[in-house]
């Protein structure tokens, strides 16, 4: 059942639901095997919040159930988190003897406090003087993971891992608590709802849910009852909530995510809602987008509504073909079609969507057709498309819709057209496409000049007759000097710019690195790379940055096989495993947590077909080679695939421009041809943006002409579209995607 067919926002409505993803932890493995369309999502923010709440309950002395006596001191705490990490406390919990426990002779205050810190925070601070003491206590109390951390501390080579492991240890602690609940150990409360009964721990529910925290810590009668009946819960909802509180994870798929979201909203189960919203963002597809929009509107979820509406506008052609599109109310359809951000390569597609909507219930919708037709921007159509419009029976001269067409065409200003005066379709993405540096010809075409400029694409505009335009604005200027043949990478919305050339001489290759923070609009000079690099690649993976190969001296006779790794936290570089051979003019991208490298040239002008997976620790694994040899090309990850376009190949007289494009499937280790480029792009820039592959600038080897064109490839339509031009015809520049603050975007347009 689709959400649009459901209760439209009544949280108390009766819902018949499959319990997939809502069973207790004991059925989790069975659910994974039987529900291939479900995916398990873990909310690590919930895990952190859970233990933070648990710490607060302990500090406030709420729901504490055990007192530990040691060296004349009393420690009021919760037995359950201790039992999750210590066999000693697990036995106490199972035996039910939790009031007062004397630890004299079994522990020291230093060791016990370290154990408490680990149980509640996932880490314990030990020093050189205390490590052995904590180790002895953890071994005596049966806390093997605390003992392992002490041993890591005592081994200097492993000390860097302590902070990384804290969140993982907390997740393990929660899983230990889940195991205790699964085996019915230490429960102090029985919850009943709609014919089911669940044995739980009051303190865990209070730490995991605002709803239950209020029930058990604010003096309500339920705080003292051994059995609580929840008449407002269905059995499915209660099972869902308890399973999530004890695990921080859910099994979600399109078959249950709407019902899970609807169940969590009345009780403000924020951890569950975060996972549902994450599922919607990461798995949004045309078939379900209108259901998500209806959900967001029914429950007044503005952020989800905006994201879903953006998806629908970006993918209008596909969404219009979904059967649920025909069920939209007139006001809903008008609201969508009126948006400037509606993306379509042909305005005629909007007209066709309106015709189909009217024909779905012609008798009832004929009177509404003219109002909806006013949203179609007829001046954006070609003469051929307008002839097709007039041929439709709904557009007969006697019909109201024909008068809408007439009025729309007459609204176009006479004389030279200005885009701001036309009924344009405008894409105004939340993130922006940025181009960095490059070089270009001077205005008199007499020489080339490197660039220090950063530009961003503020808006994408479709004008009359499918003429497209990109509104560019100046973002910033590279500090110190211009750069071309450089590399860029983005980490946590910070732009890093590496090496490249600042001029055309043999010694003009750079080692320097700078980074730009768009939120602060500031630049910072970082530690230099250990070698000079141009015609190379940079990628971000696991919080680190890698630069791969390149040319060290502009001689075009040698390439590098070295790979350098930059750690932003330490502002330092180190060499890691080298490439399998020296390369320059290659392409690199990250997909599925792996670095892939394709094509490029060796130092003897030989272009390659190679594709390999590069592991900084273990080296390279060669994969199926590309169909064509390529150098100076682009490669980007989109979805679960790698898309390759442009560049040079071998020709009868040396090199030749390459129009052919191809896509690689890591799962199948195979290449497939896709639509070829309509224009050559050698040493161009590229990004993935709004679900499409963008290729910008570059030059043609055969004509030696630069290009200022921007093309994008849509995988769903297998089609390249010319989106407009750059501020200049740049080559050897780079591109990326950043989130900019509003004050930078609101600057006066430059081009």
SS (H, E, C) 657-669: ECCCEEEEECCCC
Put the strands of the sheet holding 487-491 in their side by side order: 487-491, 494-498, 513-517, 522-526
Judged by DSSP in three states, 440 sits in strand
Residue 425 has phi, psi (to 5 degrees) of -90, 125
DSSP of 540-587: EETTEEEEEEEBSSS-SS--EEEEEEEETTTTEEEEESPPSS-BBS-E
604: CB partners within 8 A, 6+ apart: 557
Please return the burial class of 149, using the count of CB atoms within 10 Å of its CB with bins 0-12, 13-18 and 19+: buried
Closest CA to 135 of 152, 119, 122: 152
CA 655 – CA 702 distance, rounded (Å)? 8
Domain locations along the chain = 14-43+188-283, 66-182, 328-425, 585-679
In CATH terms, the superfamily for domain 66-182 is Potassium Channel Kv1.1; Chain A (3.30.710.10)
How far does CA 495 lie from the centroid of its chain? 17
Closest CA to 613 of 594, 632, 631: 594
Joined together, the tokens standing for residue 285 give 């597809």
- Helices marked H in 155-269: 162-182, 202-208, 210-217, 235-247, 257-264
Report the chain's terminal Cα–Cα distance, integer Å: 49
30: CB partners within 8 A, 6+ apart: none
Residue 714 has phi, psi (to 5 degrees) of -105, 115
CA 655 – CA 657 distance, rounded (Å)? 7
pLDDT attached to residue 17: 30
- Report, at the CATH architecture level, how domain 328-425 is classified: Alpha Horseshoe (1.25)
14-43+188-283 CATH: 3.30.710.10
CA 225 – CA 402 distance, rounded (Å)? 72
SS3 string of 586-597?
CEEEEECCEEEE
Closest CA to 350 of 307, 379, 311: 379
Say if residues 485 and 468 touch (Cβ distance below 8 Å): no
CA 319 – CA 332 distance, rounded (Å)? 14
CA 564 – CA 547 distance, rounded (Å)? 5
Closest CA to 587 of 555, 539, 528, 533: 539
Say if residues 605 and 582 touch (Cβ distance below 8 Å): no
590 DSSP β-pair partners: 595
CA 39 – CA 249 distance, rounded (Å)? 10
Cβ atoms < 10 Å from Cβ of 314: 21
CA 434 – CA 289 distance, rounded (Å)? 29
Joined together, the tokens standing for residue 495 give 């732009």
Q: Give average pLDDT by consecutive 10-residue segment, the chain, 751 residues.
A: 43 32 39 59 92 96 94 95 96 84 92 95 86 93 92 68 65 95 93 91 94 88 86 90 95 94 91 94 93 95 92 92 96 94 88 96 94 94 92 90 92 62 77 95 83 94 76 95 97 97 91 96 97 97 96 84 96 96 96 95 86 94 96 95 95 87 96 96 96 96 93 92 94 96 76 56
How many residues are given for the chain? 751
Say if residues 484 and 683 touch (Cβ distance below 8 Å): no
Closest CA to 492 of 595, 588, 568, 591: 568
Joined together, the tokens standing for residue 646 give 């442009």
Buried b or exposed e, range 26-50, using 16+ CB within 10 angstroms: eebeebeeebeebeebebeebbbbb
pLDDT attached to residue 96: 81
- Helices marked H in 3-43: 28-34
Say if residues 632 and 647 touch (Cβ distance below 8 Å): yes
**Fold match, 14-43+188-283 / 66-182:** yes
Say if residues 612 and 623 touch (Cβ distance below 8 Å): yes
CA 54 – CA 204 distance, rounded (Å)? 8
Place of tokens 């560049």: 647
CA 507 – CA 484 distance, rounded (Å)? 14
Say if residues 734 and 436 touch (Cβ distance below 8 Å): yes
CA 723 – CA 678 distance, rounded (Å)? 12
Joined together, the tokens standing for residue 508 give 């003009």
Closest CA to 682 of 670, 695, 671: 695
740: CB partners within 8 A, 6+ apart: 431, 432, 456, 475, 518
DSSP structural state of residue 232: T
Helix, strand, coil percent content, the chain, rounded in steps of 5: 35, 25, 40
Put the strands of the sheet holding 709-714 in their side by side order: 685-689, 692-696, 709-714, 719-725
């Amino acid at each position: 059942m689709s959400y649009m067919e459901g209760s439209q926002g009544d949280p108390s409505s009766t819902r018949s639901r499959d319990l997939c993803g809502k069973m207790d932890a004991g059925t989790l493995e069975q659910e994974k095997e039987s529900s291939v369309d479900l995916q398990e999502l873990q909310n690590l923010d919930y895990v952190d919040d859970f233990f933070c709440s648990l710490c607060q309950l302990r500090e406030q002395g709420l729901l504490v159930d055990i007192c530990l006596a040691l060296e004349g001191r009393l420690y009021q705490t919760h037995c359950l988190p201790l039992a999750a990490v210590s066999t000693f406390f697990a036995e106490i919990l199972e035996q039910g003897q939790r009031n007062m426990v004397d630890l004299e002779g079994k522990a020291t205050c230093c060791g016990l406090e370290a154990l408490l810190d680990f149980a509640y925070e996932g880490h314990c601070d030990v020093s050189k003087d205390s490590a052995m003491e904590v180790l002895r206590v953890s071994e005596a109390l049966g806390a093997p993971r605390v003992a392992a951390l002490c041993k890591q501390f005592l081994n200097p080579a492993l000390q860097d891992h302590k902070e990384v492991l804290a969140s993982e240890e907390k997740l393990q602690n929660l899983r230990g608590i889940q195991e205790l609940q699964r085996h019915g150990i230490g429960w102090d409360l029985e919850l009943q709802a709609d014919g089911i009964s669940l044995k739980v721990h009051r303190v865990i529910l209070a730490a995991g849910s605002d709803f239950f925290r209020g029930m058990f810590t604010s003096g309500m009668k339920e705080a003292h009852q051994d059995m609580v009946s929840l008449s407002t819960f269905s059995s499915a909802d209660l099972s869902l909530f308890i399973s999530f509180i004890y695990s921080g994870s859910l099994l979600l798929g399109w078959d249950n995510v709407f019902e899970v979201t609807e169940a969590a909203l009345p009780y403000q189960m924020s951890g569950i809602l975060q996972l549902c919203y994450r599922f919607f963002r990461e798995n949004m597809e045309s078939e379900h987008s209108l259901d998500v929009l209806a959900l967001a509107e029914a429950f007044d979820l503005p952020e989800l509504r905006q994201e879903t509406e953006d998806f629908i506008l970006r993918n209008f052609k596909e969404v219009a073909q979904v059967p649920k599109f025909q069920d939209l109310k007139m006001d809903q359809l008008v609201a969508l079609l009126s948006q400037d951000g509606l993306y379509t390569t042909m305005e005629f597609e909007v007209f066709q969507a309106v015709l189909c909507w009217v024909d779905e219930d012609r008798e009832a919708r004929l009177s509404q057709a003219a109002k909806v037709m006013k949203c179609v921007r007829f001046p954006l159509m070609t003469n051929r498309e307008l002839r097709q419009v007039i041929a439709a029976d709904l557009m007969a001269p006697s019909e109201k819709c024909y008068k809408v067409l007439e009025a729309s065409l007459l609204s176009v200003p006479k004389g030279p057209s200005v885009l701001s005066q036309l009924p344009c379709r405008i894409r105004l993405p939340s993130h922006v496409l940025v181009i960095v540096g490059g070089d270009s010809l001077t205005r008199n075409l007499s020489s080339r000049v490197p660039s220090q400029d950063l530009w961003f694409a503020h808006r994408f505009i479709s004008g009359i007759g499918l003429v497209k335009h990109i509104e560019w604005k100046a973002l910033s200027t590279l500090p110190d000097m211009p750069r071309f043949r450089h590399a860029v990478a983005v980490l946590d919305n910070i732009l890093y710019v590496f090496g490249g050339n600042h001029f055309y001489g043999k010694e003009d290759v750079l080692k320097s690195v700078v980074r730009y923070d768009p939120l602060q609009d500031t630049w910072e000079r970082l530690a230099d790379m250990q070698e000079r690099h141009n015609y190379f690649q940079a990628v971000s993976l696991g919080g680190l940055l890698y630069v791969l190969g390149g040319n060290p001296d502009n001689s075009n006779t040698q390439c590098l096989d070295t790979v350098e790794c930059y750690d932003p936290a330490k502002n330092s570089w180190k060499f890691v495993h080298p490439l399998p051979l020296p390369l320059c003019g290659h392409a690199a991208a990250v997909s599925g947590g792996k670095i892939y490298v394709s094509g490029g040239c060796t130092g003897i002008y030989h272009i390659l077909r190679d594709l390999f997976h590069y592991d900084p620790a273990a080296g390279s694994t060669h994969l199926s080679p590309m169909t064509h040899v390529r150098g100076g090309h682009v490669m980007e990850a989109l979805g679960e695939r790698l898309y390759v376009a442009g560049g040079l190949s071998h020709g009868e007289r040396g090199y030749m421009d390459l129009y052919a494009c191809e896509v690689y499937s890591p799962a199948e280790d195979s290449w497939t041809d896709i639509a070829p480029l309509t224009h050559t792009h050698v040493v161009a820039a590229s990004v993935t943006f709004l679900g499409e592959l963008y290729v910008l600038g570059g030059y043609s080897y055969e004509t030696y002409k630069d290009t200022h064109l921007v093309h994008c490839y849509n995988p769903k339509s297998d089609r390249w579209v010319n989106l407009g031009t750059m501020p200049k015809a740049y080559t050897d520049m780079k591109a990326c995607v950043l989130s900019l603050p509003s004050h930078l975007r609101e600057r006066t347009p430059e081009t």
